[in-house]
Structure 1
Amino acid sequence: MSTSICLIRHGETAWNAVRRLQGWQDIELNETGREQARALQNYLRSPAFRLPVDAVISSDLQRASETAAIACQHWEIEIQQIRGLRERGFGTLEGQAWDAVGRHGPDQPDDSVDIDYAVEGGESLRQFQTRVLGCFEGLAQAHAGKSLLVFAHGGVIDMVWRKLNQQALGAKRTHAILNTSLNFFNIDADLNWSCTSWGQLPHLDTALDEQT
């Protein structure tokens, strides 16, 4: 019996817009992010969205939980917040510009990164991966046979993509993970993962323009 998951990245924040590492910093959505969440809500309530939703689950950081609250306000479903769905912790680097710390961004590791290195107060990529995958497998077991809507972060989506595509933590990813994109996958009772569709943005007309 498989658990179906639609994994959604949060809407844009002011720190996204200026490319600052957020990590565990609790940054709210900016107005663009709220508009994205409202557009997502219009899509989720339309006949075009066919996934039955048994539960809505979010990271406990407000950029994800606020996206969930706006996008799912038409359903009378309590949103469960889970710390295990947080973005990767970047410790003392949080708040700094991506470029200043030599990164492509929190959702884009590269082959020059030591996957076992953790900055002070932060997580290594391997620690982050273990947390994220364990969280999803726990959700799949707790909601066996159900359909879940999960709101999280770019780095979380990257870890799931790597699991589904058997990509190493240091392997380069060639596609962007856009705000409020939808990503569908299943986890069965034996904890086998399979992808259904990925990187969908049916609610945003500007999706192609955002891929920079």
Structure 2
Amino acid sequence: MTGTDGTRRIVLWRHGQTAWNLERRFQGTTDVELTDTGRAQARRAARLLATLGPDAIICSDLRRTVDTAAELAAVTGLAVTYDEALRETYAGAWQGLTHDEIMARFGEEYAAWKRGEPVRRGGGELETEVADRAAPLVERAAEKLPRGGLLVVVSHGGTIRTTIGRLLGLPSPSWESLGGLSNCCWSVLGESVRGWRLLEHNAGSLPEPVIGDDV
């Protein structure tokens, strides 16, 4: 998976399970810890990702991502660089509420968000603002990779989706079409002559080589 053809790759890895995930409670920038299951998910995923031979790890500074990244650092010996630019979307008054509570209190706002309209959820950040802070950081880190290198970005579902959308050059209303990431699953971007390309999405096992006409 590391670029035997000399291309760089980015693995965008979502954190493990938290209690708020189980409760369908909107986390945003609230600093919620992993559950025991989340830690086990991180250990399993880290063993898989380590076999790809990553060259660098960058990570959100919230505990659920810090503890997830620590499992990969432990098996690779790599240092982790933390940056608040990789935090989840700040969602103001939505944070701490379940999705049912959000729909009851902010129904029109919630529906507009799901339609892909620019919405400051709970008075928080726009998705484009999240991409503005996260995507450039990921690009700068990728530029430092050696030829054929692999960067692991440990972040949050919403931030990963907006970052992928921005790096692929997709219009922001279509970012929701990428779908969410399960806990401790990842997506993979690869360099191509036309820019970044989505190679894997919401994966939980090692990617297989693409064999065929679309390589």
User: Does the CA-based 8 Å contact 1:110-1:170 persist in structure 2?
Assistant: no
**Equivalent position to 2:18, from 4, 13, 23:** 13
SS of equivalent residue, structure 2 residue 76: coil
**Equivalent position to 1:35, from 36, 40, 52:** 40
* Residue 98 of structure 1: how far off its partner (Å): 1.9
Q: 1:142 to 1:175 in 2, by over 3 A?
A: same
The aligned counterpart of 1:88 is: 89
User: Does the CA-based 8 Å contact 1:164-1:195 persist in structure 2?
Assistant: no
TM-score normalised by L of structure 1: 0.78
Deviates more, 1:6-15 or 1:91-100: 91-100
Q: 1:117 to 1:175 in 2, by over 3 A?
A: closer
* Residue 52 of structure 1: how far off its partner (Å): 2.4
Distance 2:120 2:140 in 1: 26
TM-score normalised by L of structure 2: 0.77
Distance 1:71 1:138 in 2: 21
1:3 aligns with 2:5: no
SS of equivalent residue, structure 1 residue 57: strand
* Residue 164 of structure 1: how far off its partner (Å): 5.6
The aligned counterpart of 1:181 is: 185
* Bigger Rg over Cα: 2
Distance 1:33 1:65 in 2: 12
The one-character-per-residue Cα deviations of 1:133-169 (angstroms, maximum 9, x if unpaired) are: 2222222234364321111110022113433665443
* Residue 118 of structure 1: how far off its partner (Å): 5.5
The aligned counterpart of 2:126 is: 124
The aligned counterpart of 1:141 is: 143
SS of equivalent residue, structure 1 residue 89: coil
The aligned counterpart of 1:115 is: 118
Q: 1:139 to 1:191 in 2, by over 3 A?
A: farther
Work out the percentage of aligned pairs sharing the same amino acid: 28
* Residue 34 of structure 1: how far off its partner (Å): 0.7
Alignment coverage as a number of residue pairs: 193
The one-character-per-residue Cα deviations of 1:21-79 (angstroms, maximum 9, x if unpaired) are: 1111111101110110121133234xxx3x32111111111101100102331221111
Choose between structure 1 and 2: higher helix proportion.
2
Tell me, which stretches of 5 or more residues in structure 2 are unaligned? 1-5, 207-215
* Residue 2 of structure 1: how far off its partner (Å): 4.7
* Residue 12 of structure 1: how far off its partner (Å): 0.4
The aligned counterpart of 2:212 is: none
* Letter of the 1:29 counterpart: L
SS of equivalent residue, structure 2 residue 13: strand
The aligned counterpart of 1:79 is: 80
The one-character-per-residue Cα deviations of 1:161-198 (angstroms, maximum 9, x if unpaired) are: 4336654433342744111112111357x992222222
Q: 1:7 to 1:38 in 2, by over 3 A?
A: same
Q: 1:174 to 1:153 in 2, by over 3 A?
A: closer
Q: 1:82 to 1:144 in 2, by over 3 A?
A: farther
Question: Could you list the runs of 4 or more consecutive aligned residues of structure 1 that deviate by over 4 angstroms after TM superposition?
Answer: 164-167
User: Does the CA-based 8 Å contact 2:45-2:184 persist in structure 1?
Assistant: yes
User: Does the CA-based 8 Å contact 1:58-1:82 persist in structure 2?
Assistant: yes
